[in-house]
């Protein structure tokens, strides 16, 4: 039997407190969602990809330094690095919660293998995502600050990642969790 592919997004507004200017997770919600995802995965009925948003870990710094439209100044170059590191921190917290639920998750850092051109997705090799699904793992991706061949950097949203993967891998269902 071929298991249907679900792509699930934990929105940044659900997993973080977006009203804060400093990064703040909603640990209870992340733990609850991880438990629910565990039940779904352990049912054996689905292949699952998880994508999470940035919330207070990405949006404030991106907005402050206008990174969505590129990087030109020394301040923007530093903010690009800070945004990436902040997203890695958030991803690590989510991965820990998922692993605590005994889920076989594999994190894929978008800025290491995807890039944009003028703010639009230009390159995305999904072969490792497909391999992890074949091995019954749950790939975990997230919105990120990525290199852009026209603007130096831009933001690759989790929604764009989901749209690409849903089309490329012919997802059976996409589920968005937001506030």
- Among 9-23, 28-42, 147-161, which stretch is predicted with the lowest mean pLDDT? 9-23
Scan for tokens 């998922």, then name that residue: 98
pTM (two decimals)? 0.96
pLDDT at 137 > cutoff 80: yes
Q: What number of other Cβ atoms are within 10 A of residue 62's Cβ?
A: 22
Q: What is the pLDDT of residues 9-20, one digit of tens each?
A: 999 999 999 888
Distance of CA 102 to the CA centre of its chain: 20
Round to the nearest angstrom and report the end-to-end CA distance of the chain: 35
Q: What is the pLDDT of residues 44-98, one digit of tens each?
A: 999 999 999 999 999 999 999 999 889 999 999 999 999 999 999 999 999 999 9
Contact indicator for 120, 86 with CB cutoff of 8 Å: no
């Amino acid at each position: 039997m071929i298991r249907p592919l679900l792509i699930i997004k934990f929105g940044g507004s659900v997993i973080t407190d977006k009203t804060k200017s400093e990064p703040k997770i909603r640990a209870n919600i992340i733990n609850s969602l991880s438990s629910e995802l565990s039940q779904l995965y352990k049912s054996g009925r689905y292949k699952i990809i998880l994508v999470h948003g940035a919330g207070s870990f990405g949006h404030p710094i991106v907005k402050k330094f206008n990174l969505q439209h590129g990087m030109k100044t020394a301040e923007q170059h530093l903010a690009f690095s800070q945004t990436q590191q902040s997203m890695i921190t958030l991803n690590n917290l989510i991965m820990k919660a998922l692993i605590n639920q005994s889920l076989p998750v594999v994190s894929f850092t978008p800025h290491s293998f995807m890039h944009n051109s003028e703010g639009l997705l230009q390159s995305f090799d999904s072969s490792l995502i497909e391999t992890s699904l074949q091995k019954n793992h749950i790939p975990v991706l997230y919105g990120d600050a990525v290199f852009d061949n026209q603007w130096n950097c831009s933001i690759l949203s989790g929604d764009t990642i989901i749209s690409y993967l849903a089309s490329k891998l012919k997802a059976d269902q996409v589920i968005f969790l937001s506030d």
